[in-house]
Structure 1
Amino acid sequence: MRRKRWNPEMISPSTSPRVSVIIPHYDDVESLRQCLEALNKLDTPRSEYELVLADNDSPDFNTRFAPIAHLVDKVLTVKQKGAGPARNGGVEVASAPTLAFIDSDCVPHQDWLNKGIDSLHHCDIAGCKVVVTTPEARALSGAEAFELCFAFNNQRYIEEEGFTVTAGIFCKRELFKKVGGFKTGVSEDKEWCHRATQKGYILGYAGLSIIEHPPRKNWDELKIKWRRLNRETYALILTKPNGKLRWFLRTLLLPISAVIHTPKIFNCKSLVKLESKLSATQTLYKIRLWRFYDGLRLIIDDIK
């Protein structure tokens, strides 16, 4: 049942959907609105999928969400912070045999869901293509130019690193139950996918299933992202043999990696203007040096 008015109680659709789309959210209602509007315009019949919104206890959520509440089928509040717990909560109330995850700041293409579900005929877990969207017609910031070149290469993540970003992932509900939910405090996408593939499940790339993701707009946003990723990746590496040594060696290579990756910027088709390429290059060296110092800090703080 599609709701015309929202209230804090979860309402189940009267039909039996074949796909549950899980959307974690925290304090970004405008991006959520764009995501939900696009999800309601998919070329999949609306009766075949339900939209499950798992809010991470956003401030003043009831009031701010009310104008767009009719766009979802189920709403729940997950007080434990983190997109992982929110996704896990969404799965608990989902009713369909197939799950599709999308982040609330992403916009799916019309055939995103159909193409993603079709890919499960060839694999057990599928990760979609993530396209970093170009901002409005204006000069790009260094962070935006950097992310247009480097962020969300999900095909490489899947084929070389054995994981898919959780911004766009498809699997069967029973598989998710057997693998278990997303963990917190670690790189949840890597940890979950590695746990699944260790159980024998096959991970595949759904390159025809596409979502658009905005880039980080400025240095502060980019630094916040990498502070979180550094912390989560460090926690994940510590679970492996010689974890601290692995992290230390990985951290030492970061300044060198900036030199190695510089040609990628000048070959990047998403960056047309020389000004954008130079801005991306400056940000590449800046963020790699920042990650170098932050990586050493994590080890030092852990030893203390």
Structure 2
Amino acid sequence: MTPRLSVVIPVLNAARTLPRTLAALGALTPAPDEIVFVDNGSTDDTRVRLDAFAGSTTATKVIVLAEPRRGASTARNTGARAATGDVVVFTDADCCPHPGWLAALVVAFADASVGAVAGRLAATTPHGVVETFSSLFTLQAPAGLVRHTRWTPWTGGFPTANLAVRRALLGRLGGFDESVVIYGEDYDLCARLYATGATIVYAPAAVVEHQHRVALRPMLRQAFGFGRSHAWLMRHHVPRGLWLDLPRAGVVRETFPVPLWIDAASPDKKALALLLLGVAWRPLWLLLPLYGGWLWWDMTRRTRARDLPVSWLGRWGLVGCLLAKAAAMTTGRWWGSLRYGRACL
């Protein structure tokens, strides 16, 4: 028996991205049993657009709720409580599901041990340096396992931009942690879901295109939030163990007596190490521009592989975005380490 599906979407000042999202929702085949929008205090014309969509859509039931308490977790919980489907499917107001999205998500729920299904996130066609950079490096598809049974700092976490959860299980878990305003609440839900013995299946055929940030400041704010959430997740779900990211390698020691996550492979740390080497011995200053040139070549390779028309100067802009985002995430990890008492460096 095919489960009934409720799509839940939190919305906050999404007038820029909503038109494409609403068009994509209207083209879903099959259509969901209901779509629940939760307006989280928008001050633009978001609510007008949502009401117009609700009034013009006949293929599915559309509910528009208002949630004045700010936070994506709170908004999603409000939507999930209003949902009546067997499965609650989460996405965001800057996402464009492919027409067959729901059909691809629902298949795995035939297995009773599956608590949630995560789909693949792709990028909409980018415009400008920042959006192009984000399409190359943000919310990339996971590699490896299709079925996941546990969360670690490296695996098992999936964003709510494309995540379906059994409604009964979501209720038993108490929904999302509303103490988290944004960033980390989705991975936390995954970790708590695994603790019940349920699994999460990754379904790459269930595709949602994400409209990425188009300006530098919001992108850096997001990166800082991602980094901060790493320490928060370590505090709640990693009692011990070492996770060490190295260039082209990774080291895991789960019996390590204290929880420790070190990313020694991020571009900002590599650039800083080369800078310090140059201070110690001046001829080594040459390594820094060589590293910059290598990053530029890597951007050339990546953009050509995706057939993205980026000029040679634009590729230097991508290098700058990479270093800036890495530095913002590192700052968030350090700040989170101090706030949450977990070493996440």
TM-score by length of 2: 0.70
Structure-to-structure mapping, 1:93-132, within 5 angstroms? 93-121=82-110, 123-132=114-123
**1:75 aligned to 40, 53, 64, which one?**
64
Give the 3-state SS of the residue equivalent to 1:207 in structure 2.
strand
> What residue identity is the alignment partner of 2:330?
F
Once the two structures are overlaid, the 10-residue window that deviates more, 154-163 or 74-83, is 154-163
d(CA) in 2 for partners of 1:170, 1:287: 29
The 5-angstrom pairing of residues 2-17 of structure 1 reads none
The alpha-carbon distance between structure 1 residues 95 and 208, as it changes in their structure 2 partners (threshold 3 A), is same
1:222 is aligned to 2:219: yes
Output the CA distance in 1 between the equivalents of 2:187 and 2:339: 24
Q: Which residue does the alignment assign to 1:289?
A: 327
1:232 aligned residue (229, 233, 236): 229
Give the direction of change, closer, same or farther, for the CA distance of 1:34–1:241 in structure 2 (3 Å limit).
same
* Counterpart residue number, 2:77: 88
Unaligned runs of 5+ in 2: 147-153, 242-257, 272-290
Shift of 1:84: 1.3
Paired position in structure 2 for 1:278: 316
Coordinate RMSD, CA, aligned: 3.1
1:289 aligns to what SS in structure 2? helix
Q: Which digits, 9 at most, give the CA deviation of each residue in 1:41-89, with x for residues without a partner? A: 2110x4x511111111222665564433324621211222111111111
Partner SS, residue 130 of structure 1: strand
> 1:131·1:213 contact (CA, 8 Å) conserved in 2?
yes
* Deviation of the 1:290 alpha carbon: 3.2
Structure 2 residue aligned with 1:241:
239
Gaps of 5+ in 1: 1-16
| Residues 251 and 295 in structure 1, CA contact (< 8 A), matched pair in contact too | no
Aligned to 1:182: 176
Deviations 1:29-52 (A, max 9, x none): 3422321222122110x4x51111
Measured in 2, the distance between the counterparts of 1:294 and 1:202 equals 30
CA distance in 2, matches of 1:299, 1:283: 24
Q: How does 1:21-60 map to 2 (within 5 A)?
A: 21-44=7-30, 46=31, 49-59=33-43
TM-score by structure 1 length?
0.79
Residues 157, 30 of structure 1: alpha-carbon distance in 2 compared, 3 angstrom cutoff: farther
Over 3 Å counting, the alpha-carbon distance change for 1:66 and 1:178 in structure 2 is closer
Separation in structure 1 between the aligned mates of residue 40 and residue 133 of structure 2, nearest angstrom: 29
Runs in 1 of length 4+ with deviation above 6 angstroms? none
Aligned residues: 279
**Cα distance between partner residues in 2 of 1:293 and 1:175:** 35
User: Structure 1 pair 195/257, CA: closer, same or farther in 2 (3 Å)?
Assistant: farther
Alignment of 1:188-267 (within 5 A): 188-239=185-236, 240-241=238-239, 250=262, 254=266, 255-256=268-269, 262=295, 265-267=299-301
Q: In the superposition, relative to structure 1, how do residues 176 and 107 fare at CA in structure 2: closer, same or farther (>3 Å)?
A: same
Choose between structure 1 and 2: higher strand proportion: 2
Secondary structure at 2:17 match in 1: helix
State how far apart, in whole Å, the 2-side matches of 1:207 and 1:181 are.
25
Measured in 2, the distance between the counterparts of 1:154 and 1:302 equals 28
